[in-house]
Amino acid sequence: MGLADQVNEWLLSEALGEPKLETLFYRLCMKLLGIGVPISRARLNWPTLHPLFRAEMISWQRHAEEATLDHFNHQDTNSEAWQASPLRHMLEHDLKILRRRLTGPGKLVDFRLLEELAGEGYTDYLALRTEFKQAGKGIESKGSGIIVIWACDRENGFTEEDLSVLQEIQRSLALVCKAIIQSQITTNIVETYLGRQAGRSVLEGNIRLGDGAKTKALVWYSDMRGSTHLTSVLPSDEFLALLNDYFECAARPAILAGGEVLAFIGDAVLVVFPLEDLSQKAALTGRVLDAVSKSFEMRDTVNEERRKTGLEEIHFGIGLNIGEVVFGNIGVPERLAFTVIGSTVTEVERIEKLTKSVASNVLATSQVANLLPGRWASVGAHAVDGVDNPMELFMPLDCGKAVLKMAAE
């Protein structure tokens, strides 16, 4: 069995497991060193379908104890470093291989990165690209796949045998990477569109109509004011921009406090904080109350900027409730939605509507207020649609003026 065959067989066996890609790449580099391929620097690059990141890269250096994973944001495609990189050149010209000698008679350093590598003592550079075929229309396939970069600092660079080994293992490495990356992309998509807990439940196989589980939870419901008027007077792009500004204010603090956005319902936000550890209810409620305060602070900051440019301001209310909810699949078998249902959710939606008529932008039930009695004040009992008896509701005492009703609202 040849040297490349040994590495290929190991890579294919790894494809049957669930290794972390950075761990696998580190072990691959060590195996290549072990069979005599003189790599001293390596990079593994791939694009990823993620709302925050455009691409990811694993880096390895000889003598390092591990390989490291880095993310590149979408805006990085406009950076000077990317515009001048060999990888961009490979993608634009559909190159599968790029080899450069960095020293000696055949020296060619036609990219800034190569000049830097030559200055650091590297003598040879090899980049190999393998494209992944994407099924379905509307999916951007250009650039999908992996690019692996190998460099060495041996005086004479890579030998022909070294180059042969690196090229022979490329397809097996690509196969393993595709399995791992596609799994990561699937998780990214599911969690982005469904939420972390709902996405995990779906990936674990809870995909039948009616699949669900009961749990205790604190529910946060927010609704934007005046959306009907705004949709009629604003161009669609301006309304979408306003809507995303609102969602950032109404959802970001809740997410940072440990909540999970289960749904954007038109211009409303439904966030759930599961109470798995009931002994932590008071601590969680404190974090949620701080998040409420932050939400309205963000609103005021956003509105100040919007006023400067003559844009419509954002106003919204928040309702809070605690009770039993059911996480589950609803809909029809061909089109399911994973959401949370129950009287706790119904009540909090209707409680939030009362913030339009009560002198507070935030209202909570007694179940919430009783967990932190020193931080709430009663606003009296109010009739809530669908609830037989009036419910005593509470407004926060220490969230500042941001939660008080403003005349403009």
pLDDT of the residue at 52: 52
pLDDT in the model for residue 407: 34
Mean pLDDT of the chain: 83
pLDDT score of 358: 86
pLDDT digits (tens, 9 = 90+) for 275-295: 877 677 888 889 999 999 999
- Residue 176: partners with Cβ closer than 8 Å, 6 or more residues away: 11, 12, 14, 15, 24
How buried is residue 110: exposed, middle or buried, by Cβ count under 10 Å (0-12/13-18/19+)? exposed
d(CA 248, CA 277): 28
Q: What is the pTM of this model?
A: 0.61
Amino acid of residue 39: I
Distances (CA, A) of 205 to 199, 212, 333: 10, 11, 14
Q: In the prediction, which pLDDT does 42 show?
A: 96
Q: For 3-12, 182-191, 358-367, which range has the lowest pLDDT when averaged over its residues?
A: 182-191
User: Two tokens at 254?
Assistant: 């809740």
Domains of the chain, first to last: 3-192 (3.30.450.40), 195-403 (3.30.70.1230)
